[in-house]
Amino acid sequence: MELRSTSSTSQRGHCFPWETCLKSKIKIENGFIAEAESTYLLNQKVKYKCKQGYVTEDGHTSGYITCLQNGWSAQPRCIRSCGVPVFENARARSDGTWFKVNDRLAYECQDGYKNRDGHTVGSIVCGDNGWSDTPACQERECIVPDIEQNLIVQPRKEKYVIGDVLKFSCRNRLLTLIGADSLQCYHFGWSRSPPTCKEEVQSCDQPPRLPNGTVADTPKGEYEHGEVVEYVCNPRFLMKGARKIQCVDGEWTPLPVCVEEDSTCGDVPELDHSEVVSPARPPYHHGESVAFTCGEDFTMIGQSSVTCIRGTWTQPPQCIATVELNTCKLSKTIDSEANLPDGNDFEHNKKINYTCGRKSEQKHSVCVNGKWEPEVNCTEAPRCPPPPQIPNSQHMALSVTFQEGEKISILCQENFLIQEGEEIVCQDGQWQSIPHCVEKTPCSQPPHVEHGSIISSRSSEDERETLEPRLYAHGTTLSYICKDGFKLSKEDGITCHRGKWSASPQCVGLPCGPPPEVSNADLPNRLNSYPHGQKYTYTCNRGFRIRGPASVECSGGNWSHPPECTKMTCPRPPSYDNAILVGQLKNSYKPGDHVTYRCQEHYQMDGPNVVECRDGIWIGTPTCKDLSCGSPPTVQNAFIPNQKTRYRHEETAHYQCRHPFGLFGNAVVTCFSGNWTDPPECKESTGKCGRPPAIDNGDITTTSLAVYAPGSSVEYQCQAFYELEGNRRITCRDGQWSEPPKCLDACVISEEEMEKHNIELRYSYAKKIYSRTKDFVEFRCRGYYRKVSPDSAFRVQCREGKMEYPTCA
């Protein structure tokens, strides 16, 4: 931050500081300030940009920072990124537009393509130098199949790609083709194995019975090789697989399957000018039909009935007024190769036969309200080869071709699940919308739901609940139940789908009412309802304390256990080392109660000896200090009779000097508060002094000893109101004490003497009864008395306890 002055102010002659940020004070990692200025004002927003290949932390190529009072608002940085790569014949599995370093991007190849590793899916990683690889998928190829010598193959190529069709025929016309006469290349390879050629083929017996289905045509006793039989499923059943089976060298190709279809249709479509001939009562199940008839003077266009197919009605017919029906035109312009019958106008429902070019095959068409059905056409619509054998699906062994628009419902093998549609459609000579049969991968343990548990499991495939311990079969559905006070966020359970569980529900806690009452507690701002997880805190009234957690929490419609507010009494006071409680002991004490302690013998209280009951606990810690002493100090040339290792407080010990040494100082030492008084000395007795001389009205300041060493000194002090005269300190020299001082007596002013001499103290407020030696005392005459003594006599000096009183008469 830099402070700069400017004269742009409202007051002339003054400068106010402007706060600015310097461009040089911020360094942007892998980026730069995009603006040219070097300084920026307070609160100004500044744009920065990232270098090529870098983005801001939120994925943009630029961002903003702001000049604040304490400097720039942030220290931005630009991180390495990868954009969405250009895919070759592939697509990303993510909607992201940018990726950080180490991010992984999954991709999948387009149908009919594979990556370098031969897979249809892959992934790349964003690195410091960009993506780890360029995702590219090449067109998948089908390997040239092994064919026997008797087969002719058309067309012959070096490689075959998806969609290519191979056509087969036998070289010898006496041989019969066994199997499909054409194969198609799909993403999984060839649609099936190549056919073979045989000299003799077998016929087939009657076609097998189809459970929940029937043969569409009247069955025969024997079928030649190559003949086809069609089946239809009973009402309420849906066909899976090709509706046709074929006799192939004495054996029928596999049957389709009729599976129960639970879906139903709603009301029958309304048809004007018609009535229902074969009514059925709802609900209408799959496969059930309802027939119509048109009213008088109306003609039906289309199928006379509608059928419920997987929950939807087929296209209903129309009832058109007969007089309004249109005729059909027929001319050479329809198709130049068609050999048409004579005539131009043909009435409704008129059927014509025609041939195409030199072919003898008869074709048919019917006039339906002005349109030929099917359209008159000599162009051969391409037929589709036999349906492909999709990996892990029901076996397809048909060798017949299919017309444009025909559909086949695919049925996957057991433990496989169909994906990407359920039907294949013949379009432009190729089968389209090829689905996949993927394995029904089991699921591991279901997710845990807090406050909930699993109550049941059911499988959409069979009655088995698990494949093995801790594995659940594909299609298994589990339901959850919440414990009391919680409810499910959604009623649906979870379902295992190809190894993954669907999203699990949550157990949401119910709300709580007001928090419970607590005696002797204050409950401020209490509400009538609280959401799950909300807390409420109690406060005890004065003189009470909280026991337990102060807060309760709402969990599943119930509050946790509330605290108690107990009176803040104290239990029995604690015991302290070497201390004794004074007074009678009680079981409980009120706040403010005091308890006093004293120490045991030979211990002394260190600090307060009182503890107080406050907020339920005792405040204070009396401490009894040990006042005993160890062995007395060692004195050279001395000993202590019956010496001990420990002495009690105020216990004494006596020293004795060894011969020929004399005792200097007090022979007795005392243990006091853990310490000994000063010990004596034992020295040679030459030049010693005896006890210091006594003086009247005074004494020495220390304890008198029997013997003092040469050079020892003592001090004197006088009693109260006595004046010390002379040297306060005397010294032992050559066995003699120096001259001691004197304590001069004080003068006592006698009321009796003053009354006798008719005088009183001049300054009555002083009431000076005692006066030290050399002090002056002034008197005056009482009342109406007059001085008899001279004036100088009324100012009297105290001399060694005596003074002369003046006289008044």
- In angstroms, rounded to a whole number, what is the distance separating the alpha carbons of residues 494 and 473? 13
- Is the pLDDT reported for residue 187 higher than 90? no
How many CB atoms neighbour CB 365 within 10 A?
A: 23
Q: How far apart are CA 752 and CA 764, in angstroms?
A: 16
pLDDT, average across residues 610-634: 90
Mean pLDDT of the chain: 86
- Structure token pair of residue 319: 């009832």
Q: Tell me, yes or no, whether 43 lies in a domain.
A: yes
Asked whether residue 601 falls in the same domain as residue 552, the answer is no
The average pLDDT across 507-514 equals 92
Confidence grade of residue 352 (pLDDT, cut at 50, 70, 90): very high
Mean pLDDT within 659-674: 86
- Boundary residue ending a domain (120, 139, 158): 139
Q: Are residues 350 and 210 in the same domain?
A: no
Within 13 Å of residue 330, how many CA atoms lie on the same side as its CB? 26
In a domain, 360, yes or no: yes
Question: CA torsion angle for 166, 167, 170, 173 (degrees, to 10)?
Answer: -170
Instruction: Give the pLDDT confidence score for residue 11 in this predicted structure.
Output: 39
Q: What is the pLDDT of residue 683?
A: 80
Same-domain pairing of 127 and 88: yes
Tens of pLDDT, residues 227-284: 999 999 998 899 988 899 999 999 999 999 999 988 899 889 999 999 988 766 788 9
**Residue 766: what pLDDT?**
56
CATH at residue 115: 2.10.70.10
The answer to whether position 644 is within a domain reads no
- Which residues are bridge partners to 251 per DSSP? 248
Q: Give the domain extent around 195.
A: 143-200
Starting at the earlier edge strand, list the strands of the sheet with 62-68: 31-33, 45-50, 62-68, 71-72
Evaluate if residue 3 carries a pLDDT over 50. Answer: no
pLDDT band per the 50, 70, 90 thresholds, residue 18:
low
- Spacing of C-alpha 304 from chain mean position: 65
What would the pLDDT profile of 370-412 be if each residue is shown by its tens digit? 999 988 888 887 888 888 888 888 888 888 888 888 999 888 8
Averaged pLDDT, 687-708: 87
CB 397 within 8 A of CB 388: no
CA dist 673 to 535, 628, 630, 648, 677, Å?
Answer: 58, 7, 11, 9, 10
- Please tell me whether residues 252 and 273 are part of one structural domain: no
Which helix H or strand E contains 795, and what residues bound it? strand 795-797
* Average pLDDT of span 571-599: 91
Residues in the chain: 809
Alpha-carbon Rg for the chain in angstroms: 62
> What pLDDT, on a 0 to 100 scale, did the predictor assign at position 728?
93
Residue 58: which pLDDT band, with cuts at 50, 70 and 90? confident
Position 244 in a domain: yes
- The residues facing 101 across adjacent strands are none
Q: What is the pTM of this model?
A: 0.46
In this structure, are 394 and 250 located in the same domain? yes
Instruction: Determine the pLDDT at residue 332.
Output: 67
> Stretch 534-543: mean pLDDT, rounded?
88
Do residues 661 and 637 make contact, with C-beta atoms less than 8 angstroms apart? yes
Q: What is the pLDDT of residue 456?
A: 62
Look at residue 215 in the predicted model and tell me its pLDDT.
94
Nearest in space to 431 (alpha carbons), one of 390, 384, 397:
384
187 and 234 part of one domain: no
pLDDT in tens, 30-42: 899 888 888 888 8
Task: Indicate the residue among 178, 200, 222 that finishes a domain.
Answer: 200
Share of residues in the chain with pLDDT > 70 (%) = 94
User: pLDDT for 480-497, tens place per residue?
Assistant: 999 888 999 887 789 988
pLDDT at 461: 43
Residues 192 and 337 in one domain: no
Could you tell me which residues come within 8 angstroms of residue 575 by beta carbon, excluding any fewer than 6 positions away?
none
Task: Please check whether residues 342 and 366 belong to one and the same domain.
Answer: yes
pLDDT, average across residues 557-575: 90
Domain count, the chain: 9
Residue 545 has pLDDT above 70, yes or no: yes
Assign 235 to helix, strand or coil.
coil
User: Does some domain include residue 1?
Assistant: no
Are 256 and 403 found together in one domain? Answer: yes
Write out pLDDT tens, residues 135-186.
Answer: 888 888 888 888 888 999 998 888 888 888 889 999 998 899 998 888 888 8
Under the banding of pLDDT at 50, 70 and 90, the label for residue 296 is: very high
In a domain, 215, yes or no: yes
In a domain, 176, yes or no: yes
81, 100, 116 - which closes a domain? 81
* 172 occurs within a structural domain: yes
- 709 pLDDT band (50/70/90 cuts)? confident
